[in-house]
Amino acid sequence: MNPSSTTQSSRTTPGSGPAARSRHARGEALIRPGRTSTTYAQLARQLVTTFPQAVAKLDPRHVWRSPVMFVVWVGSVVTTVQAVVDPSWFAWAVAVWLWATVLFANMAEAVAEGRGKAQAATLRATRKTTTAERRLADGSLETVAASDLAIGDLVVVRPNEIIPGDGDVVEGMATVDESAITGESAPVIRESGGDRSAVTGGTTVLSDRITVRITTKPGETFIDRMIALVEGASRQKTPNEIALTILLTVLTIIFLLAVMAMQPMAIYSGQPQSPVVLVALLVCLIPTTIGALLSAIGIAGMDRLVQHNVLAMSGRAVEAAGDVSTLLLDKTGTITYGNRRATELLATPGLGNDGVTRAAYVSSLADETPEGRSIVELAASALDTPSREALDRLPQAGATFVEFSAATRMSGADLPDGTAYRKGAADSVARWVKGLGGEMPSGVLTEVDGIATSGGTPLAVAVQEAGQPPRVLGVIHLKDVVKPGMKERFAQLRSMGIKTVMVTGDNPLTAKSIAAEAGVDDFLAEATPEDKMALIKLEQHGGRLIAMTGDGTNDAPALAQSDVGVAMNTGTSAAKEAANMVDLDSDPTKLIDIVSIGKQLLITRGALTTFSIANDIAKYFAIIPAMFVVLFPGLDALNIMGLASPRSAIVSAVIFNALIIIALIPLSLRGVRYRAVGSTALLRRNILIYGLGGIMAPFIGIKLIDLVVSHLPGMM
């Protein structure tokens, strides 16, 4: 958007400032009851509270969704039947711990889901049944239930009233309490005519009166969608998750065929194996650990985003964030606060300041944009009280005011004595002056170029007195402010290998100055929605994944085209509908957290898959020698753990296979820590920790369990 042709809000929200960033740095969540970490005591309580839910998930209609755990479930049924038909301590021990394996897998998923359901309950508590004052075609108001509102209805909301539905402010400006969705107690400002016009149903107007156009149907409001997302009701498996499920299924089938082929060989060798032993071998060889934790990892990934006050509309977007290579950011309201305010009135060389001050004040009286109001405030501070009061009486004196419009990019006033004032974009004022026989002074052009080069927005002020050619009286300096800490955050993105591109409607000089101050890698100036789309498609054509943050209606097409589209919560409804993520804090640098969580999700899934497959190696040394050591005494050389007996070895392996799931639940919920290092170093680190650890852990764990199990009856 061109800053001289359109208006943007001059307000910032408390959730986008340094305080909010410091909260994220500490890992605090604004959507209660969140914390990013879980202590083991908390986990123990969660395991106890989710136990009934985990038992309910033993229903085969639920278990079959995970092929690996469904095989374990079938094996549990088989061993239970065998234990009933031919009871023994060994058979019952294997059956019980196989059921525990399935139960622990269900508990991992239930704990992950439980966090979201707790947050959903908090959000449900914010929803209240309310009524609305709907405006009719004749301007009158009627009271209706909020549930009866339709898209397009206009409702009037007064102080201390609840906004009845999602919509956009079309008239007025008000402070709004949005703590219901952000947890931030400080109010924010919502107003018409800018990119901060969106309001959310269930929030409360604290001051002033606004008219809201409803944009969603009842039951489909932002809070309704939040509830569905955080409790996991709308979660679907991502492409990577589906691919990994297929891989695990194939491995399970391979091991199933191998175990089935082992029984004929055992019979031929004269030592047939019982179904209990074969099932135990199968369960210990298939990748049960990752199969049990896969769903919990995906749910926890989206939960971590929620704890950072980001709503992901799909798991696909979370995964894509982990592979983003280019980030596009809208300048106004994203990199900068978006509050361009008049900071200086510069008179034309040779003219006094009184003329430009008076002209700026009069020509901005009809400009209701935030920029126009800031000009009135600045000029008023320089005028004495009698002069200001005299100018305020101009409407009663018969003055005609020209409102600001995007078409003319000017505003002004025509006084009864024939004097005309104009204020607006420098090129628009220049055309107005030249059209009436005047000229643009070179000194003014120099000031205009200087302001634009410094990153500000220059507005020219001119006057035409009766019978005289128009004169340019001076320039108004509007300045936008880059949000604190942006350069450091962009440097952090650069260390992650992410290129940052600022997209703005500003002229190239202004864009270059802001880009240098913010520390972005590149910029696109004078960008139209079509230009943004073209840039995104060009990057995607090169095989790169693109993320974009934005808050305006003109950002909506680009947000929809991006692989990861992050809309600011302070933005318009169109932007939030087009994006696949919404940042409730409206902090554009939140993408660093989003990318980190996306990478963390992928790394966690890969690390636990590596661990799961690696720890099967130790189980070979526990179970295979135990099965055939009587027939082939030479296999005792493979009993490097020194396990007491074949039966204790098998039971110990089954118990370890179940307990390791519980042990890894905290890691699957918290995620493997992501560090901004190269992929080679990251791969080496994870192989050493989770590959080598996956091999060593079972040797130690099974041996320790065997020391206890071997003293139980029937295990020798």
Query: Which residues are known catalytic residues?
Result: 330
Neighbours of 702 (CB within 10 A): 29
In the 8-state DSSP scheme, what is residue 671?
-
Which amino acids are annotated as binding site for ATP, given as ranges?
A: 367, 371, 404-411, 423
First to last CA, the chain: 79
In the 8-state DSSP scheme, what is residue 351?
S
Query: In 3D, which of 340, 356, 339, 337 has the Cα closest to residue 348?
Result: 356
**Are β-strands 410-414 and 420-425 bridged in parallel, bridged antiparallel, or unpaired?**
antiparallel
Cα 265 to chain centroid distance, Å, stands at: 55
Query: In 3D, which of 445, 375, 377, 379 has the Cα closest to residue 404?
Result: 375
What is the edge-to-edge ordering of all strands in the sheet holding 420-425? Answer: 341-347, 471-479, 457-464, 420-425, 410-414, 400-402
- Is the Cβ–Cβ distance between 124 and 227 less than 8 Å? yes
φ and ψ at residue 449, rounded to 5 degrees: -65, -35
Q: Name the 3-class secondary structure at 520.
A: coil
Cα four-point dihedral sign 177, 178, 183, 187: negative
Cα four-point dihedral sign 171, 177, 182, 184: positive
Question: Residue 357: in which H helix or E strand, if any?
Answer: helix 353-364
Alpha carbon distances (Å) from 4 to 361, 404, 515, 605: 18, 11, 18, 49
Cα four-point dihedral sign 33, 38, 41, 46: positive
For the record, the structure tokens of 32 come out as 């209660």
Q: Give the Cα separation of 429 and 254 in Å (integer).
A: 77
Residue type for position 627: M
- Rg (alpha carbons) of the chain, rounded to whole number: 33
Q: Give the Cα separation of 57 and 296 in Å (integer).
A: 14
- Is the Cβ–Cβ distance between 134 and 231 less than 8 Å? no
Q: Does the bond joining 33 to the residue before it have cis omega, within 30 degrees of 0?
A: yes
- Is the Cβ–Cβ distance between 280 and 99 less than 8 Å? no
Q: Give the Cα separation of 348 and 443 in Å (integer).
A: 7
Q: Which residue(s) pair with 171 in the sheet? A: 211
Question: Residue 499: in which H helix or E strand, if any?
Answer: strand 499-503
Q: Name the 3-class secondary structure at 71.
A: helix
Which amino acids are annotated as binding site, given as ranges?
A: 367, 371, 404-411, 423, 551, 555
Q: Give the Cα separation of 196 and 7 in Å (integer).
A: 11
Q: Which residue(s) pair with 142 in the sheet? A: 134
